[in-house]
């Protein structure tokens, strides 16, 4: 592809992501799958520019006054790539499958941007830090004086973390398999079963992945599964299993013992679990859709029986902005309210499943206190038979080593990119009183 054609492709994909409810990586993958003629170098260039523009969306819009992909690609070329106006005009000539020529307004914009950079001292904090203005209060509450570093880290590309499947082999065996295929990895800092790959690789073609020795899973998500302290002889329920990432981790912790039940209201998400279970060599999982009368009746049979119930609740995903930077711009106050209500409803529905003396583990990939501490506080007010367990105690019993608690004495776990090198994540462990 010519440089102009790559620019046109970036504009096209950015336009598709604006109108899609799917994450940017899914939109990009679908775009490339339907255009097999695009080579690997071109794919890297196009996807790299798309993500870079999404990570600079607020600053670009501050300069351009627009959220239009074509306009912001022009601005990105001028401000980030520092291309002179004549070079940009060549890219926008309409030749070589490039985008149509520049308008008079776009030429005027290039004159305005000449000699400028992405950042400017006049920018408001929200623009400078690349977050929606209406979220600043929540983010300041979460990060305090470290907000600049934390939001900067949330706006950087994430590494690829792998969870080693201990049912198939240990970390040394997984590292050996990856090394044989020229992939460099290193142990993660917190998870004893985690490996981190910093380079871009096609993991799905490797023996390590196809043989079920590793699964992509951020280190923070691995920690959440470990803190469930699931055991082979105890009933464990993954209440919001989705596509099964934590289900697989729980199955490994339980040494493929059980029973382990993976639940979700969406049968389409649950269908994605079964091939993953087969690849991982897991046989102890029962998959159940809880939607409708049949699903609710099935759950009624398990009231008060589960030693562990994991609620990895639907949330804003603000802790995973490194992986999906466009998500912050599609988030609205109305959508946040929907998540908050859903979290309350799910906690209320999951609580009766916990046996006396059992634990309810609440987790989100969110850095917003309103989705985390606030939700648990409201739950405890309505359920006095539950109490929070100090996470450092559970950490010591099940992971070992120092527990990275940010606030001394805090009963909950909060992880973040700047402080821990992980996605933003929250875990609260609630124990039900013995009858």
Q: Which residues lie closer than 8 Å to 432 by C-beta, 6 or more apart?
A: 351, 354, 355, 356, 357, 358, 359, 360, 385, 386
pLDDT at 131: 96
Structural contact between residues 14 and 69, judged by C-beta atoms closer than 8 angstroms:
yes
pLDDT at 408: 57
- Residue pLDDT, tens place only, 222-241: 999 999 999 998 999 999 99
Q: pTM of the full predicted structure? A: 0.93
83, 265, 276, 386, 414 from 407: Cα distances, Å: 46, 35, 37, 22, 9
> In DSSP terms, which residues pair with 180 in a beta bridge?
none
Q: Which two tokens stand for residue 282?
A: 């897991």
Give the relative orientation of helices 24-33 and 40-55 as an angle to the nearest 10 degrees: 160
- Residue pLDDT, tens place only, 18-72: 887 777 788 888 888 888 888 888 988 999 999 999 999 999 999 999 989 999 9
3-state DSSP assignment of residue 218:
coil
Long-range residue pairs from 347-352, CB within 8 A, at least 24 positions apart, any chain: 347/311, 347/313, 347/375, 347/379, 348/379, 348/382, 349/299, 350/237, 350/239, 350/309, 350/311, 351/309, 351/379, 351/383, 351/386, 351/432, 352/303, 352/304
pLDDT at 377: 96
pLDDT level of residue 434 (50, 70, 90 thresholds): confident
The CATH superfamily label for domain 160-216 reads: Sun protein; domain 3 (3.30.70.1170)
pLDDT at 93: 87
CATH 3.40.50.150 spans which residues of the chain?
219-432
The torsion angles phi and psi of 38, rounded to 5 degrees, stand at: -75, 125
Per residue, the 3-state secondary structure of 410-427, as one string, reads CCCEEECHHHHCCCCEEE
> Does pLDDT of 342 surpass 60?
yes
Q: What percentage of the chain exceeds 70 in pLDDT? A: 99
User: How many Å apart are CA 235 and CA 355, to the nearest integer?
Assistant: 10
> Does pLDDT of 307 surpass 80?
yes
228 is catalytic: no
Q: What is the mean pLDDT of residues 76-97?
A: 92
Q: Which two tokens stand for residue 167?
A: 């049912």
Q: What is the DSSP string of 353-420?
A: GEEEEEEEEEEES---GGGTHHHHHHHHHH-TTEEEPPHHHHHHHHT-S----SSTT-SSEEE-HHHH
User: How many Å apart are CA 80 and CA 102, to the nearest integer?
Assistant: 19
**Considering the chain, what is the average pLDDT of its residues?**
92
pLDDT at 409: 65
Q: Which of 289, 315, 365, 403 is catalytic?
A: 365
Structural contact between residues 226 and 190, judged by C-beta atoms closer than 8 angstroms:
no
**Where is pLDDT greater, at 228 or 268?**
228
pLDDT at 277: 92
Q: What percentage of the chain exceeds 90 in pLDDT? A: 77
101, 239, 362, 414 from 311: Cα distances, Å: 52, 5, 5, 16
User: Quick one: CATH architecture of 219-432?
Assistant: 3-Layer(aba) Sandwich (3.40)
Q: What is the mean pLDDT of residues 360-369?
A: 97
User: How many Å apart are CA 26 and CA 281, to the nearest integer?
Assistant: 27
pLDDT at 197: 93
CATH 3.30.70.1170 spans which residues of the chain?
160-216
Give the relative orientation of helices 57-64 and 69-79 as an angle to the nearest 10 degrees: 100
pLDDT level of residue 293 (50, 70, 90 thresholds): confident
User: How many Å apart are CA 67 and CA 208, to the nearest integer?
Assistant: 42
> Does pLDDT of 323 surpass 80?
yes
Q: Which of 11-25, 117-131, 278-292 has the lowest mean pLDDT?
A: 11-25
- Residue pLDDT, tens place only, 384-402: 999 999 999 999 999 988 8
């Amino acid at each position: 592809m010519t440089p102009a054609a790559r620019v046109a492709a970036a504009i096209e994909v950015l336009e598709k992501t604006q109108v899609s409810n799917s994450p940017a990586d899914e939109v990009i993958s679908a775009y490339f799958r339907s255009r097999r003629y695009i080579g690997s170098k071109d794919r890297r260039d196009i996807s790299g520019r798309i993500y870079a523009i999404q990570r600079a969306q607020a600053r670009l819009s501050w300069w351009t006054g627009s959220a239009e992909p074509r306009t912001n690609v022009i601005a990105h070329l001028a401000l980030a790539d520092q291309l002179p106006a004549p070079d940009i005009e060549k890219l926008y000539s309409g030749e070589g499958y490039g985008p149509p020529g520049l308008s008079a307004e776009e030429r005027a914009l290039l004159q305005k941007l000449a000699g400028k950079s992405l950042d400017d001292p006049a920018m408001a904090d929200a623009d400078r830090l690349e977050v929606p203005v209406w979220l600043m209060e929540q983010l300041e509450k979460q990060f305090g004086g470290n907000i600049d570093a934390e939001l900067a880290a949330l706006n950087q590309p994430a590494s690829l973390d792998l969870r080693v499947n201990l049912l198939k082999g240990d970390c040394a065996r997984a590292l050996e398999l990856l090394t044989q295929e020229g992939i460099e990895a290193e142990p993660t800092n917190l998870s004893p079963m985690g490996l981190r790959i910093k380079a871009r690789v096609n993991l799905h073609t490797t023996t390590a992945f196809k043989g079920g020795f590793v699964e992509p899973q951020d280190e923070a998500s691995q920690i959440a599964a470990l803190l469930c302290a699931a055991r082979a002889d105890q009933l464990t329920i993954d209440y919001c299993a989705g596509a099964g990432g934590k289900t697989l981790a729980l199955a490994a912790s339980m040494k493929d013992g059980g029973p382990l039940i993976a639940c979700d209201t969406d049968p389409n998400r649950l269908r994605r679990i079964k091939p993953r279970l087969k690849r991982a060599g897991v046989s102890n999982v029962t998959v159940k859709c809880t939607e409708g009368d049949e699903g609710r009746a099935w759950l009624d049979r398990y009231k008060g029986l589960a030693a562990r119930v994991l609620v990895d609740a639907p949330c804003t995903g603000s802790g995973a902005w490194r992986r999906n930077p466009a998500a912050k711009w599609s988030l609205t106050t109305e959508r946040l309210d929907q998540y908050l209500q859903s979290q309350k409803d799910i906690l209320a529905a999951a609580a009766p499943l916990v046996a006396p003396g059992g634990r309810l583990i609440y987790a989100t990939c969110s850095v917003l206190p309103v989705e985390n501490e606030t939700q648990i506080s409201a739950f405890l007010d309505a359920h006095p038979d539950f109490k929070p367990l100090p996470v450092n105690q559970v950490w010591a019993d099940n992971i070992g080593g120092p527990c990275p608690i940010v606030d001394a004495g805090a009963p909950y776990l909060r992880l973040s990119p700047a402080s821990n090198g992980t996605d933003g994540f929250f875990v609260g462990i609630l124990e039900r009183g013995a009858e």
